[in-house]
Structure 1
Amino acid sequence: MGMSRKKLVIDTDPGIDDGMAVLIAMNSEEVDIIGLTTVFGNVYTPTATRNAFKLLEIAGRTQIPVAEGAQRTFAGIEKDWVADFVHGDDGFGNMNFPDVKGEKDSRSAADFLIELVREQPGEICILALGPVTNLALAMQQDPSFARNLGELVILGGAFFVNGNVNPATEANFFGDPEAADFVFGHSAKIKVVGLDVTHSCTFTGSELKGLHGKGRFGTFLSSITAFYLKYHQDSYDMDAVYVHDPAALAVVLWPSLFTWRPGQIRVLTESVARGMSVMDTQLKRWNRPHPWTDRPKVQVAVAVNAQEVTQRLLQRMGA
Structure 2
Amino acid sequence: MVNAQSYPRPIIIDTDGGVDDALAIIMALNCDRFDLKAVTVLAGNIDVHQAANNVLRVIDIVQPKHPPLVAKGCEKPLLRPPFNAAGIHGADGLGELHRFKNADGTERYPQLTVQPSSENAIEVLLKAAEEYGKDLTIVALGPLTNIATALQTNRNTMQKVGRIIIMGGAVTVPGNISAAAEFNFFVDPDAAQIVMESGIPLTLVGLDVAMKAPLSRQAVEEYAKQHPSVVSQFIADCTEIYMAFYRDNEGFYGCYLHDPLAVGVAIDPSLVSTESVYMVVETEGKFTSGMSLADRRDRRDETAAPPNVDACLDVDADRFLKLLYELI
Distance across 2 between alignment mates of 1:197 and 1:182: 23
The aligned counterpart of 1:304 is 315
Cα offset, 1:107, TM superposition: 2.4
Cα offset, 1:210, TM superposition: 1.8
Cα offset, 1:74, TM superposition: 1.7
Distance across 2 between alignment mates of 1:295 and 1:110: 28
Answer yes or no: is 1:247 the counterpart of 2:258: no
Distance across 1 between alignment mates of 2:307 and 2:299: 17
The counterpart of 2:213, out of the listed 201, 222, 231, is 201
Runs (5+) with no aligned partner, structure 1: none
| CA deviation profile, 1:213-272 (whole Å, cap 9, x unmatched) | 524511100111111110110111012211111111111011111001001111001121
Distance across 2 between alignment mates of 1:131 and 1:211: 31
The aligned counterpart of 2:71 is 67
Distance across 2 between alignment mates of 1:295 and 1:39: 30
Distance across 2 between alignment mates of 1:17 and 1:104: 20
Normalising by the residue count of structure 2, what TM-score does the alignment of the two structures yield? Answer: 0.90
The counterpart of 1:11, out of the listed 14, 36, 43, is 14
Amino acid at match of 2:208: D
8 Å contact from structure 1 (residues 185, 296) kept in 2: no
The aligned counterpart of 2:97 is 95
Cα offset, 1:78, TM superposition: 3.8
Cα offset, 1:48, TM superposition: 0.4
Answer yes or no: is 1:223 the counterpart of 2:237: yes
Distance across 2 between alignment mates of 1:238 and 1:294: 40
8 Å contact from structure 2 (residues 71, 121) kept in 1: yes
Distance across 2 between alignment mates of 1:295 and 1:65: 36
Cα offset, 1:188, TM superposition: 3.8
Cα offset, 1:98, TM superposition: 2.9
Distance across 2 between alignment mates of 1:284 and 1:256: 27
8 Å contact from structure 2 (residues 126, 158) kept in 1: no
The counterpart of 1:49, out of the listed 40, 48, 52, is 52
Distance across 2 between alignment mates of 1:306 and 1:269: 32
Cα offset, 1:281, TM superposition: 2.3
SS in 2 for 1:263: strand
Distance across 1 between alignment mates of 2:132 and 2:9: 12
8 Å contact from structure 1 (residues 187, 296) kept in 2: no
8 Å contact from structure 1 (residues 186, 295) kept in 2: no
Runs (5+) with no aligned partner, structure 2: 99-108
Moved over 4 A (4+): none
The aligned counterpart of 1:273 is 288
The aligned counterpart of 2:122 is 110
Cα offset, 1:294, TM superposition: 4.4
RMSD (CA atoms): 1.9
Cα offset, 1:211, TM superposition: 2.8
Distance across 2 between alignment mates of 1:55 and 1:187: 33
Distance across 1 between alignment mates of 2:81 and 2:217: 36
Distance across 1 between alignment mates of 2:188 and 2:201: 20
Cα offset, 1:103, TM superposition: 3.1
Mapping for residues 20-169 of structure 1, pairs under 5 Å: 20-61=23-64, 63-75=67-79, 77-79=80-82, 81-96=83-98, 97-169=109-181
Distance across 2 between alignment mates of 1:304 and 1:276: 22
| CA deviation profile, 1:160-208 (whole Å, cap 9, x unmatched) | 1011001111000001000000100012411110000000001111111
Amino acid at match of 1:263: V
Q: Go from structure 1 to structure 2 and tell me whether the alpha carbon gap of 1:266 and 1:66 turns closer, same or farther (over 3 Å shift).
A: same
Aligned length: 310
